[in-house]
A and B are shown apart, each in its own frame.
Chain A
Amino acid sequence: MEITVNGTAHEVDVEQDMPLLWVLRDELGITGPKYGCGIAQCGACTVHVDGVAVRSCQLAAGDVDGEVTTIEGLGTPDSLHVVQAAWVEHQVAQCGYCQSGQIMAAASFLDVNDDPTDAQIDANMSANLCRCGTYPRIREAVKTAAKNLRSA
C-alpha cells in the first residue's frame, strides 16, 4: 500500500491491520514517534493525519486516510515549528521519551484553539503522559507557542 509521510510517498508491503506506528518505525525507519503503551493510554506515539492528532499505535495502516506527519516533518532544525521553538525556549524535555507525542498533541490542539486557558491546556494535554513530570513546563511552552501563533 502507499502511505505518504512527511510529504514523501512510500510503498510499503505490510498487513492492513499493522499499526501505523509499526509502519513508521520498523518499515520506514521514522523513529520520532515512540512506543509507550500500545493501547492509546500514554500518547507517546502521537502523529498527525491531515493535521489532526492521532495515536499511531491505534490506527491500522489500512485505515490511514490522509497524509501522515511525524515530529520529523513538523518543522526542521533550521525552521522549527512554533511549538518546537517554544519547547526549546522553555527547556521542556527531561528524558524526552514522551516529548514528540506531547509536541504533536500540542500542535494539533493549538490549530483549533490558539488562545487556550491554563485549564484548557491542562485538560487537553492530560491524555499525554510524562513520567518525568514536565507538565508545568509543557503548559508554559504551550502558552508561549499560542502567543507566538497569534502574533505570527
Chain B
Amino acid sequence: MKKTRVTAGALALLTGLVLPAAGDDSAAPVREYPPGSVTLEEGLANWQTFYEVASHPRCSNCHVGPSNVPMWSGPSYGKTRPHGMNINADESRIGAEALICSTCHTTLSEPDENANRTPHSAPRVASIWGLAPVEAEWFGKSSNYVCNQLKDPQRNGNRTIGEVASHVDHDLVLNWAWNPGGNREPAPHSLALAIDALMKWSAAGTPCPPEE
C-alpha cells in the first residue's frame, strides 16, 4: 500500500498535475483580460509584481534545479543555505526514493490556517509537500530569465498563461506562501493580486524586461 501511495504522489508531481484541493474554497476566480487591453508598460509592471512573488523565498526556495536540494533563504533563515539535514527530494521531487518530504512536512487532512503557527517546525499543508518540477527551476534567476521561462510551454507544463494562473490558484503548497505561519515572511502582495498580475501580463502580450 505504501509504495503504491508514494508512487501515485510522485507521478502526480512528475507529470505536473495539480494535486486536488479537496474542500478548498479559497480559490480566487481567474479574471480574463482581452488581448491588447493592457499596455506594454502596464504589462511590464504587472510582470514585476509577479516576479516579486516568484523570487520571494516562500516560492523560490522550492524552485530549485536538478540537485533536488531545497533551499533555506530569507529573513527567517539569516543566511542563504541548502535545506538542513542533507535533505534531497530526488528525481521524484517529493523524496519518494528515500526520505519522503511528508515525513516531516506532514499532510493535513484538510486546510487549516493555524497548522503552522510554530516557528522552525516543518510547514504542512493539505497536499503532499515537495519541490516544483525541475523545469521550473528559478531560484536566484533574473526577472528576464523567469519571464521567458514562465511563458515557455516546454518549461511551464505546456500551459497557457491562464492555465498557469489557475495552477497557481489551486495549488495548496503555493497558497501556503501567503500564510506561512511561524516567523516566516509571507510572499508579497496577495495570491489574488499575483494571479491578476499574471493575467494582465498575458493580455499585454507577455512582455519581458531586458536582461540586466
Which residues of A are at the interface with B, using a C-beta cutoff of 8 A? 17, 38-41, 46, 50-55, 58-60, 62-63, 65-66, 105, 108-109, 111-113, 116, 120, 122-124, 126-127
Check if B109 is an interface residue, CB within 8 A of chain A. yes
Of the candidates A51, A54, A109, A127, the one whose C-beta lies within 8 Å of that of B106 is A54
Extra A-B contacts (9), CB below 8 Å, given A50-B2, A51-B1, A52-B100: A51-B2, A58-B105, A58-B124, A60-B106, A63-B107, A66-B1, A124-B86, A124-B98, A127-B86
B161 within 8 A of A: no
Q: A122 vs B87: C-alpha distance in the bound complex, in angstroms?
A: 11
Inter-chain contact A39/B107, CB cutoff 8 Å: no
Set A40, A50, A60, A108: member contacting B121, Cβ < 8 A: A40
| A38 contacts across to B, CB distance below 8 A | 118, 121
Whether the Cβ atoms of B5 and A123 lie closer than 8 Å is no
Determine whether B12 belongs to the interface, using a CB cutoff of 8 Å to chain A.
no
Task: Determine the chain B residues whose CB is within 8 A of the CB of A63 once the complex forms.
Answer: 106-109
**Scoring B residues 94 to 131 as 1 if CB is less than 8 Å from chain A, else 0, what string do you get?**
00111110111111110010010010111010000000
Dominant SS at the B interface?
A: loop
CB < 8 Å: which of B3, B86, B87, B104 contacts A58?
B104
By the criterion CB–CB under 8 Å, are A40 and B5 in contact? no
The docked-state distance in angstroms from the alpha carbon of A66 to that of B109 is 12
Q: Are B1 and A127 in contact (CB under 8 A)?
A: no
On whether the beta carbons of A113 and B122 are closer than 8 Å, the reply is no
Asked if A52 and B2 sit within 8 Å, CB to CB, the answer is yes
Give per-residue flags for B3-32: 1 if the beta carbon is below 8 A from chain A beta carbons, else 0: 101100000000000000000000000000
Shortest Cβ distance from residue B10 to the other chain A in the assembled complex, whole angstroms: 11
Known: A65-B109, A122-B86. A109 touches B99 (CB 8 A): yes
Q: In the bound complex, do residue B102 and residue A54 qualify as a contact, i.e. CB atoms below 8 Å apart?
A: yes
Contact sample, A vs B, 20 pairs, CB 8 Å cutoff: A38-B121, A39-B122, A40-B105, A40-B122, A41-B121, A46-B103, A52-B2, A52-B5, A52-B6, A53-B99, A53-B100, A54-B103, A58-B105, A58-B122, A109-B99, A112-B98, A120-B98, A122-B86, A127-B86, A127-B99
Contacts of A40 in B (CB 8 A): 104-105, 121-122
Asked if residues A50 and B5 are in contact (CB atoms below 8 Å), the reply is yes
Tell me, in angstroms, the Cα distance from A41 to B104 when the chains sit together: 8
Complex interface: chain B residues within 8 A of A126 (CB): 85-87
Q: Report if B49 contacts A (CB, 8 A).
A: no
> Does B88 touch A at the CB level, under 8 Å?
yes
Bound-state CA distance A98–B108 (Å) is 26
CA distance A55 to B163 in the complex (A): 35
Min CB gap B69→A, angstroms: 10
Within 8 A of A (CB), among B65-98: 85-88, 96-98
Q: How far is the CA of A123 from the CA of B82 in the complex (A)?
A: 13
Which listed residue (B88, B104, B112, B120) contacts A55, Cβ 8 A?
B104
CB distance from A42 to the nearest CB of B (A): 10
Q: Bound state CA distance, A39 and B2, in angstroms?
A: 24
Would B109 and A112 count as touching, CB distance under 8 A?
no
Q: With the chains together, A124 CA to B88 CA distance in Å?
A: 8
